DNA sequence: ATCATATAAGATAATATATGTCTTATATAA
DNA sequence: TTATATAAGACATATATTATCTTATATGAT
């Protein structure tokens, strides 16, 4: 099992798609899902989660869709991960303080906590704008995309 | 989902138990399982896996059991993790090179690879002898309590 | 040789989690 | 008013993880 799960990967793609069109009005889930190769219905659910977490803003009705809730440089991969799959956890004794009575003396736990901090910091350092900048042609065929109107 | 899974935690406890009695002949799974609060039958399966990976050596028959395959200082938590739950993977595009066609230009992938290296190095740095040294009673590392047989 | 005790191995069951689909309701621009 | 979009949650499927059960086999001790 991967630390970053498939649904999170999907959501990240959708977010990056919105980031690429940031400032051009709402993008429909249908469009984003099609372009980023995400199953449409699933994309709807993911967008709902992202919306509830205020990572995106919804605009209902025709010509509606979603807009990023903040500038691409202000949204990190960590936020997407946590919204979609929950917090990163090395072990349940790290996530849940009550899981282990030995927590005050356990040296493993300390080290797992350190590792976990490194992971979350690493993911927090990856922002959406960064992901739009380089190497972000489509996973399709590498065909250039037209600018949305 | 935790990065270090429950079975891995169980296996780690069993290994630490063997480490604590290193040099005193084989320890039966029944004993180790009981002391470390691991379901017995499950412990058997875990020991089998550890045995196949040469992390422990089996001694059949009465007064038999398992012995560590190497000195406690030579066995790391990473080895236990990899034997029981397989390699740590940030994303499938990291584990499986064919998972994404964008891998040569993808900046996220590079960063995920870096993070993954940090995790594996961190786990590799934690050795069994270290885990026996402090935090005396090693029981109850925080998983569901369940004793069988 | 027989027996008691231990591991070996694999089938199977039970759970938990993740992923994907479907239906109905609601908002809104044109 | 209508077409198009999101909202929400039920439902279904797939996969992974954890746990148990059964039978076979090895071996030290009697």
A105-A106-A111-A116 Cα dihedral, nearest 10 degrees: -100
Question: How many independent structural domains does chain B possess?
Answer: 1
List of residues 6+ apart from A44 with CB closer than 8 A: A29
B120-B123-B127-B132 Cα dihedral, nearest 10 degrees: -170
- Band the pLDDT of A120: cuts 50, 70, 90: very high
Kindly state whether residue A67 falls inside one of the protein's structural domains: yes
CB A76 within 7 Å, strand D: no
To which H or E segment does residue B56 belong? strand B56-59
- Per-range mean pLDDT, top range of A38-47, A116-125, A133-142, B107-116: A38-47
By 3-state DSSP, what share of chain A in percent is helix, strand and coil, each rounded to 5? 50, 10, 40
To which H or E segment does residue B51 belong? helix B40-52
CB atoms within 10 A of CB B22: 17
To which H or E segment does residue B15 belong? helix B6-20
CA-to-C1' distance for A21 and D26, Å? 68
Query: So what's the pLDDT on residue B99?
Result: 75
Kindly state whether residue A87 falls inside one of the protein's structural domains: yes
CATH number of A77's domain: 1.10.10.10
Query: So what's the pLDDT on residue B143?
Result: 38
Better-predicted residue by pLDDT, B105 or A88: A88
Q: Which of A92, A123, A127 to mutate to test the interface with B (most CBs of B within 10 A)?
A: A92
Q: Which of A19, A81, A115 to mutate to test the interface with B (most CBs of B within 10 A)?
A: A115
pLDDT per position as a tens digit, A101-119: 767 767 778 878 888 998 9
Query: So what's the pLDDT on residue A95?
Result: 81
Query: So what's the pLDDT on residue B28?
Result: 94
Which chain A residues are Cβ-neighbours of B140 within 8 angstroms? 100-102
Residues of chain B with pLDDT under 50: 135-149
Query: So what's the pLDDT on residue A149?
Result: 25
Kindly state whether residue A72 falls inside one of the protein's structural domains: yes
Better-predicted residue by pLDDT, A103 or A134: A103
Kindly state whether residue A71 falls inside one of the protein's structural domains: yes
**What is the domain extent for residue A32?**
6-133
């Amino acid at each position: 099992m991967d630390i970053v799960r498939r649904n999170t990967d999907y959501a990240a793609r959708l977010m990056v798609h919105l980031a690429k069109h940031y400032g051009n009005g709402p993008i429909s889930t249908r469009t984003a899902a099609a372009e980023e190769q995400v199953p449409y219905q699933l994309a709807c659910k993911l967008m709902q989660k992202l919306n509830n977490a205020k990572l995106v803003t919804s605009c209902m009705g025709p010509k509606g869709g979603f807009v990023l809730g903040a500038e691409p440089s202000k949204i990190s991969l960590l936020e997407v991960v946590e919204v979609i799959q929950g917090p990163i956890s090395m072990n349940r004794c790290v996530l849940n303080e009550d899981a282990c009575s030995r927590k005050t003396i356990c040296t493993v736990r300390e080290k797992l906590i350190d590792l976990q901090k490194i992971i979350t910091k690493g993911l927090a350092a990856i922002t959406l704008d960064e992901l739009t900048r380089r190497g972000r042609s489509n996973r399709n065929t590498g065909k250039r995309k037209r600018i949305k109107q």
